[in-house]
Chain A
Amino acid sequence: MSEKVKIRLKVNGEDVTYEVDAHMSLMRALREHYVWDVKCGCEVGECGTCTVLLDGQAVKSCLTLAAACDGHEVWTNKGLGYRDPLTARLQEAFVECGSVQCGFCTPGMIVAGAAYLKHGGKADRAAIKNIISGNLCRCTGYVKIVDAIYLVAKEIEEGRLTA
């Protein structure tokens, strides 16, 4: 029916080989391989729930062709939480600050926040709002999400955490 391609990529630090339809999105490919923390909210790049790091950049995995990721590195919120102290701290901060309600937008939101902090983002609420403006949350009104990212940015600025 549809052409299959074999892609080799690094997902959350592990080398994997996926056989996927040539036209499949990275989001579908990840979810079909049990990487469920990448959520599907719209599948057309509107909501940001599927945000992952692709070679260190935050991307919407539903708009990223899986076949084009051959040879590239993907980190999701779950993997980052295990391996990356900054993301682990940001995850904790989300709990501390009450940034989570239904939690469906949370993995994508944390990846967007982690990408910001990793690229030297400052403890600046306006800039943080801007960086998560592509991630929709219907529960929280964003206030406490911004608070959590701000809190960790502050810790980095004060030298208590390394970006």
Chain B
Amino acid sequence: MTQVSEGSYIGQNVPRSDGHAKVTGAMVYPSDVIVPGMMYGALLRSPYPHAEILSVDTTEAEKMGAVCLTYKDIEPIKYNERSVSIPAATYRDRTVLPDKARHFGEPLMAVAADTQELAYRAVRAIKVEYKVLPAVFEPEEAMKDGAPQLYDKIYLGDEEVAVHNNIGVIRNISEGDCEAGFAKADRIFQESFELGRIYHNQMETKCAVVKPEPDGSITVWATAQSIHANRQLLGRVLGMPLSRINVIKLPFGGAFGSSIQVNTVTPICAYLALKAGRPVKLVSAREEDFYSHQKYPAKFTVKMGVTNDGLITAAHVTALVDFGAHQVQPLPFLGCTAGWFASLYKYEGNIRFDGTAVYTNKTPCCAMQGYGNPQINFAIESMIDIISNEMGFSPVDLRLKNYRGVGDEFWGQGPTIRSIIKSCGVEQSLVEGRQMTDFDHRERPDTKTGDVRRGLGLARGFHCSGTGGPKEGEVIDYSSALVKINEDGSVDLLTPVTDHGGGTWDALRKICAEVLQVPLDLVGLSPAGTMQIGYDVCTHATRGVYCGGAAVYHVAMKVKEKLLEVAGRLMAEHAYNLEVVRSDGLHQGVVQVKDFPAKSMTIGDIAKQAQNMSWGTIAYTDSYRQRNCPPCFTTHFVEVEVDMRTGVITVPKVLIFGDCGNPMNPDLVKGQLVGSFNRGFGYTVFEQLPTNEATGELANKGLLVDYKTPSAMEMPPIKDVEVILCDTYEPTGPFGAKGIGEAALASVQAAISNAVYNAIGIRFHKLPLTPEAVLAAIREREAQSAGATPS
């Protein structure tokens, strides 16, 4: 899509337009929504990890004035909370409320009452008789014969399928000839890696407000990354026509994938509101939110063949994933994980991926900034470091020799969605980073001594920008927009795309302003609900700017066509002789005759004249599908310090390269890269969610104080966080843009771990690298070297 004009807003650092509302505290988030006559909801959550519900008595709760909801009140329609895949690739295993508890903290019953406190009291008054069942928490145990079974049968599309040994999904993918590739190699490496569950900790907990309207419709405000996904699922479980469900788009307090599916609370809240005949607000407490969704854990075994001149000839990954008690799409998760693996390096085209995803009595897992990418990236980028060290290659050169770049195929969303890479900042990142960090002269770990040892490490990664391919795959991807020119030359933009704080909405406004050449402040972002605007699959897969922006671009181009046609009639010129330019002096877009700017009209005058002549409003709405999913690349050069006495890892310095194509707003892109580094640091060194297997409860009991995330204290010194945006232009993106969001996290974990290896010579195969884990590894090495010393 075309180059930007001179003086364009695109690529400029413009203060975000929602900034004022956010800093003054005026912004309304879903948890702030108040509706007259509103009731407050609360949930009875399972005190057991696995139990049948034998009986429920809500009499006492109802006497207190509460409206109660149990599985008996709901239609037992089976669904998957995540609906971005086509039905034939979607497993369905859950209902709005279950008759059997499958994980600790699972919502079993709900109440609504006049105050929040009364609602909590009413929950306590519900009497439930359980038959406690044996539970299983580890995937290896769950797959054994005789293990407690979570399900007998589930649905794939409309087909009933049996579940054996708790195995939810098996996904094996093979291309080329792995055996031949390994035979060609001079060395074979095989290592195992493990990444545990972590929690999104988005600052606003999951919530919904549902209001029954006088005409029988409902209005919904919710923490939601896709308003249309929420509408469609509500329509299905409530048996309501979609035309009666308006899900309103709102900013919300952080996503990171936490609201990528329709949250469990939302359909429950809708049922409560309909049963009560009154608006209901249902907000998760933080302790409950921990049990809503968590990041997918993964165990990998990676085998790679390498020739003596550093060519990777084949790679085989096996993956075992415990996704918890319900499927929130482990099928595409495995496909995507295979795709990230396949797209990092060429492997001479010889790849094999064997993925198994298993039910356990734990919290369901969903996407969390990367959908398998940070997990597999840690394994592959650690492997590359291991191979470099073992065979004496430069980690930079080994990557440069084997990476997939321009002209190569990229699997943007598993094996069914592939496109050809057309822009790539990998080489710039590796070459410039090597020079800036003097990477080739870093010292070997065995030369380092002292209590505090410093190391330098590197890893690279990427994510897709959207899930579009030349051919339709198993994932749905298109967006919509409505653009309308007002009678004063200002513009209304309606988009279903949500903005989680990255600045997506401003990027979309800029794209609209650039196409129509109007001052940015004249492009208004209209409130949008599912009743007002066409479908957008979700703000996920790093697609907001690339796919949502492309829809805005497409629709704005159509509006521009209409504008020039109307202007041509008014100015007695052929439309093709006219052009639009922005006039900052007039604070208007201006239509002028090409090469004769003296003959011109402002867009406001044109729209007003069109109104006076009763010609109609200059507006258009449509959907648009991107046919590529270009990778946005990142590379992290990280310096760490490891304290040999305490095991504490700190990061004194980090250099981040980001390739988002042409950045819409460079400062906001850099902000995302720095924020993601912070989350990646937490993932690598702090965050874990152990389960108390006696009770099925999280060891931290859902308390943030026992779930360490990085505070301001752990961030590197501010002057030593450097971000460089690559000089690339994506030809298929709106004004050259790709995404950045999820790519920003992908390689953080491996870069830190590789730096730790360079500091102390110990390879970590399992996250997190807590002080305890680091100290234990140091002690183990000391014991080994003491044992090996001849007496």
Is A155 among interface residues, defined by CB-CB distance under 8 A?
no
Query: Residue-by-residue, is A72-94 near B (CB-CB < 8 Å gives 1, otherwise 0)?
Result: 00001110010000000001101
Q: Is the CB of A142 within 8 A of B715?
A: yes
Given A104-B203, A146-B718, A42 and B286 touching (CB < 8 A)?
yes
- Could you tell me the distance in whole angstroms from the C-beta of A100 to the nearest C-beta in chain B? 5
Contact code string B391-409 (vs A, CB < 8 Å = 1, else 0): 0000000000000000000
Is B502 at the interface (CB under 8 A from chain A)?
A: yes
**Most chain B beta carbons < 10 A, residue from A37, A44, A104:** A104
Whether the pair A91, B23 counts as a contact (CB closer than 8 A) is yes
Query: Which residues of chain B have C-beta atoms less than 8 A from A147's C-beta?
Result: 718
Q: In the bound complex, do residue B25 and residue A125 qualify as a contact, i.e. CB atoms below 8 Å apart?
A: no
Tell me if B562 counts as interface (CB < 8 A to partner A).
no
Please, how many angstroms separate the alpha-carbon atoms of A81 and B24 in the complex?
6
Contacts of B29 in A (CB 8 A): 39, 104
In the complex, A106→B286 CA distance in Å? 18
B117 proximity list for chain A (CB < 8 A): 2, 21
Find B203's partner among A36, A102, A128, A129 (CB 8 Å cutoff).
A102
> 1/0 per residue A105-133: CB within 8 Å of B?
11100100000000000000100111011
Closest chain-A Cβ to B786's Cβ sits at a distance in Å of 40
Contacts of A138 in B (CB 8 A): 200-203, 254, 256, 675, 679, 709
Cβ-based interface call for A49 (8 A): yes
Partner of B16 from A36, A39, A100 at Cβ < 8 Å: A100
Residues of chain B within 8 A (CB-CB) of A139 are 203, 254, 501, 675
A98 adjacent to chain B (CB < 8 Å): yes
* Distance in Å: Cβ of B265 to nearest Cβ of chain A: 15
Bound-state CA distance A2–B121 (Å) is 11
A110 touches which one: B23, B286, B717 (CB < 8 A)? B23
CB neighbours of A21 from chain B (8 A) = 117
Are A129 and B713 in contact, with the CB atoms below 8 A? yes
Who on chain B is nearest to A126 by CB?
A: B717
Q: Is the interface of A mostly helix, strand, loop or mixed?
A: loop
Is A10 in the interface zone, CB < 8 Å from B? no
Question: B705 contacts the other chain (Cβ, under 8 Å)?
Answer: yes
Binds A, one of B349-357, B613-621, B666-674: B666-674
> Which chain B residues numbered 5 to 38 have a C-beta less than 8 Å away from chain A?
13, 15-16, 18-29, 31-32, 34
- The answer to whether A136 and B704 touch (CB under 8 A), given A36-B32, A91-B23, A100-B23, is yes
Q: How many residues on chain B are close to A (CB under 8 Å)?
A: 64
Measured in the bound complex, the distance between the Cα atoms of B569 and A63 in whole Å is 67
Within the complex, which residue of A28, A41, A92, A133 is in contact with B711, where a contact is CB–CB below 8 Å? A133
CB of B156 within 8 Å of the partner chain: no
Least CB separation from A111: chain B residue: B25
Question: Min CB distance, B718 to chain A, in Å?
Answer: 5
Q: Decide: B675 and A106 in contact? CB cutoff 8 A.
A: no
A159 contacts the other chain (Cβ, under 8 Å)?
no
A37 touches B25 (CB 8 A): yes
> Any chain B CB within 8 A of the CB of A17?
no
A104–B718 contact, CB under 8 A?
no
List chain B residues, Cβ under 8 A from A49.
203
Q: Please, which residues of chain B bring their CB within 8 A of the CB of A36?
A: 25, 28, 32
A133 x B25 contact (CB < 8 A): no
Enumerate chain B residues within 8 angstroms of A46, measured Cβ to Cβ. Answer: 286, 703-705
Q: Write the A27-43 contact mask toward B (1 if CB under 8 angstroms, else 0).
A: 01000001011011111
The interface centre, meaning the residue of B20, B25, B500, B672 with most chain A CB atoms within 10 A of its CB, is B25
Q: How far is the CB of B356 from chain A (nearest CB, A)?
A: 31
Q: By the criterion CB–CB under 8 Å, are A143 and B721 in contact? A: yes
B contact residues around A134 at 8 Å (CB): 711
Taking the complex as formed, is A67 at the interface, i.e. its CB lies under 8 A from any CB of chain B?
no
Q: Is B204's beta carbon under 8 Å from chain A?
A: yes
Docked-complex contact B286 and A98, CB < 8 angstroms = no
Chain A residues within 8 Å of B27, by CB: 103
Q: Is the CB of B253 within 8 A of A78?
A: no
The answer to whether A96 has its CB under 8 Å from any CB of chain B is: yes
Residue in contact with A78 in the complex, picked from B25, B201, B671, CB distance below 8 Å = B25
B285 within 8 A of partner (CB): yes
Chain A: which residue is nearest B719 at the CB level?
A125
- B718-A125 in contact (CB<8A): yes
Q: Counting CB contacts under 8 A, is B118 at the interface?
A: yes
Taking the closest CB of chain A, its distance from the CB of B417, in whole angstroms, is 28
B677 on interface, CB distance cutoff 8 Å: yes
Cβ-defined contact, B711 with A102, below 8 A: no
A107 touches B205 (CB 8 A): no
Indicate whether A8 reaches chain B with its CB closer than 8 angstroms.
Answer: no
Q: Do the beta carbons of B23 and A102 come within 8 Å of each other?
A: no
CB <8 Å contact, A44 and B712? no
Residues of A within 8 A of B34 (CB): 34
Asked whether any CB of chain A lies closer than 8 Å to the CB of B252, the reply is: yes
Q: How far is the CA of A16 from the CA of B503 in the complex (A)?
A: 38
* Residues of the A chain whose Cβ atoms lie less than 8 Å from the Cβ of B203: 39, 41, 47, 49, 102, 104-105, 136-139
For residue A162, CB closer than 8 A to chain B, the reply is no
Complex formed: what's the CA distance from A125 to B717 in Å?
A: 8
A sample of 5 cross-chain residue pairs with beta-carbon separation below 8 angstroms, ordered by A number, consists of A46-B286, A92-B23, A102-B251, A102-B253, A136-B704
- Closest 9 pairs between A and B when the two form their complex, measured CB to CB: A37-B25, A104-B253, A103-B22, A101-B501, A141-B678, A102-B501, A95-B19, A78-B25, A46-B704
Chain A residues packing against B (C-beta within 8 Å):
1-2, 21, 28, 34, 36-37, 39-44, 46-47, 49, 76-78, 81, 91-92, 94-96, 98, 100-107, 110, 125, 128-130, 132-147
* Additional 14 contacts, C-beta under 8 A, given A2-B117, A39-B253, A102-B204: A1-B118, A39-B204, A41-B286, A81-B24, A104-B29, A104-B252, A110-B23, A129-B712, A136-B203, A136-B709, A138-B675, A140-B674, A140-B675, A141-B715
